[in-house]
């Protein structure tokens, strides 16, 4: 192993500060530690290394599964997977944090039984099963997953640690079975493979983890652009150097986020179904714009009030002529309870306005207009808090504390919500001077310890065969 060569390799991935070589040196030490841990677990021999980054979404929340627009970036925080192919179809999983993530193993097949809900191995089983069905892969692997702090993607923080594990597992199994896919097709494949765990999410997390680029955000149009539906319109938008991204982990976690998320997806689908009664061409909330529907932007509230209920349960929805077959299918797909109520109008209002905010935010970023971008971030958070009800008291406190600082141009909840992280835009270099005070106030008001880090845009998924020989 040549440390100077490996450092040069890693420099192509991580957007570290050239003036601070200690960051790359720390990454090199991390990779070296992972190699030692793998050999301790599985013995000597070749080791292949794969990594997939988490992501922070700058703006565009809960729009991806509505065929809308998003503006995320891949993070330097990532998940490593070290692997060695096996002669059989067995997949043996170990984690560098075994107390948190116990050993798991399974056999490749078209129907791999899932573990308990939330079990970490499910995010490996999903792409494994999908690859067997799609390509008939048969070669298993011994694998070590490395995602611990400070370099790993924080878990449950809205930074897509689960999707990063899905992507890196799919990349390893595909590569070890001598397969390949074009990047967009691979990202789309990973998004659908993660449905295995029970969520019915969109494509943003996986596209960002696959297509991320150093120093850039990814403008992604989440509507497929062709047939088959694996091609999407993308644009890498440079991040202006005069601004910096700060990611703050609120420390708040919520156990039933999966249920809340599935309800929101269902509420959006209900809005589409109700609007389709008059406008059959609408397939997703992406299609509902002032221009397409013939009303002025200021008239959106009146338009929605005329055509969508503020709140409805299943009985009320049946009276609105939605078919029993559609409602039964919706309940089964999204694991809804018979007594569930839906705030259809407010959910749709958030998505429709958020789509427009993403378009205007991308324009602001291209123009290096950080103050305009920051205003859209604050508007987005208010909508997530009030219309989508995806925030929580602790996150709202954190956004308010950040927004009250003159160094902060904007802040918002990022990720699915109900806890997790806040992303903020600052003037470059400003974040070190005031965050200790913010953290002290935050802890006094919530009882939670605040953690934060600089959000640097990194490259997407990578893989290196025979890593130790580089």
Q: Residue 112 carries which DSSP code? A: P
Report the distance separating Cα 219 and Cα 217, nearest Å.
7
What SS3 class is residue 140?
A: coil
Longest CA–CA span in the chain (Å) reads 70
Q: Does an H or E element contain 347, and which?
A: helix 344-366
> To which H or E segment does residue 237 belong?
strand 233-238
Two tokens at 269? 């689908």
Phi and psi dihedrals of 442, rounded to 5? -60, -45
79: Cα separation from own chain's centroid: 13
Catalytic residue among 205, 221, 287, 387: 205
> What gap in Å lies between CA 470 and CA 457, rounded to an integer?
25
Nearest in space to 79 (alpha carbons), one of 187, 189, 161: 161
Whole-angstrom Cα distance, residue 404 to residue 438? 10
Helix, coil or strand: residue 52: strand
Give dist(CA 435, CA 422) in Å, integer: 13
Residue 37 in 3-state DSSP? helix
Q: By three-state DSSP, how is residue 9 classified?
A: helix
**Strands (DSSP E) along 32-191, which ranges?**
48-59, 69-85, 90-95, 104-107, 141-146
Q: Where do we find the tokens 């390509």?
A: 135
Clarify whether 400 is annotated catalytic.
no
Q: Is 141 helix (H, G, I), strand (E, B) or coil?
A: strand
User: Distance (Å, rounded) from C-alpha 174 to C-alpha 165?
Assistant: 14
Rounded-to-integer distance, Cα 448 and Cα 251, Å = 6
CA atoms of 402 and 397, how far apart (whole Å): 9
> How far is it, in rounded angstroms, from Cα 27 to Cα 31?
6
The residue written with tokens 């290196």 in the block is 464
- Helices then strands (H, E): number in the chain? 15, 14
Taken as a whole, the chain contains a residue count of 470
- What does the CA dihedral 123, 125, 128, 134 come to, rounded to 10 degrees? -100
Q: Which residues participate in catalysis according to the annotation?
A: 205
């Amino acid at each position: 192993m040549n440390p100077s060569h490996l450092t040069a390799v890693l420099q192509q991935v991580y957007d570290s500060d050239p003036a601070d070589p200690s960051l790359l040196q720390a990454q090199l030490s991390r990779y070296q530690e992972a190699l030692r841990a793998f050999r301790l677990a599985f013995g000597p021999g070749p080791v292949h290394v794969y990594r997939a980054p988490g992501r922070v979404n700058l703006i565009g929340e809960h729009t991806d599964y509505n065929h809308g627009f998003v503006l995320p970036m891949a993070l330097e925080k990532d998940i490593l997977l070290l692997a060695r192919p096996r002669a059989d179809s067995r997949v043996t999983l170990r984690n560098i944090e075994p107390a948190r993530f116990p050993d798991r193993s399974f056999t490749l097949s078209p129907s791999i039984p899932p573990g308990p809900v939330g079990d970490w191995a499910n995010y490996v089983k999903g792409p494994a099963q999908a690859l067997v069905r799609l390509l008939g892969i048969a070669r298993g692997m011994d694998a070590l997953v490395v995602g611990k702090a400070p370099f790993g993607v924080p878990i449950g923080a809205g930074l897509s640690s689960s999707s990063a594990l899905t992507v890196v597992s799919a990349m390893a199994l595909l590569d070890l079975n001598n397969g390949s896919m074009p990047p967009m097709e691979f990202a789309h494949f990973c998004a659908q493979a993660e449905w295995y765990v029970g969520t019915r999410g969109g494509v943003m997390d996986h596209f960002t983890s696959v297509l991320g680029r150093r120093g850039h955000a990814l403008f992604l149009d989440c509507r497929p652009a062709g047939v088959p539906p694996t091609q999407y319109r993308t644009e890498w938008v440079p991040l202006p150097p005069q601004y910096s991204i700060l990611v703050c982990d609120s420390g708040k976690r919520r156990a039933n986020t999966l249920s809340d998320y599935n309800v929101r997806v269902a509420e959006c689908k209900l809005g589409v179904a109700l609007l389709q009664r008059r406008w059959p061409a609408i397939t997703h909330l992406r299609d509902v714009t002032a221009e397409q529907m013939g009303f002025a932007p200021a008239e959106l509230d009146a338009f929605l009030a005329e055509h969508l209920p503020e709140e409805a349960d299943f009985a009320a929805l049946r009276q609105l002529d939605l078919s029993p077959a559609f409602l039964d299918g919706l309940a089964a797909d999204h694991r809804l309870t018979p007594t569930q109520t839906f705030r259809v109008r407010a959910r749709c209002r958030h998505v429709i306005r958020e789509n427009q905010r993403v378009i205007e935010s991308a324009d602001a970023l291209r123009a290096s207009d950080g103050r305009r971008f920051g205003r859209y971030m604050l508007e987005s958070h208010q909508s997530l808090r009030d219309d989508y009800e995806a925030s929580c008291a602790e996150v709202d406190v954190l956004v308010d504390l950040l927004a009250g600082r003159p160094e902060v141009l904007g802040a918002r909840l990022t990720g699915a919500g109900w806890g997790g992280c806040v992303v903020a835009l600052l003037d470059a270099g400003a974040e070190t001077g005031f965050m200790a005070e913010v953290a002290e106030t935050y802890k006094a008001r919530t009882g939670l310890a605040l953690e934060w880090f600089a959000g640097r845009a990194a490259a997407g998924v990578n893989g290196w065969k025979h890593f130790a020989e580089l």
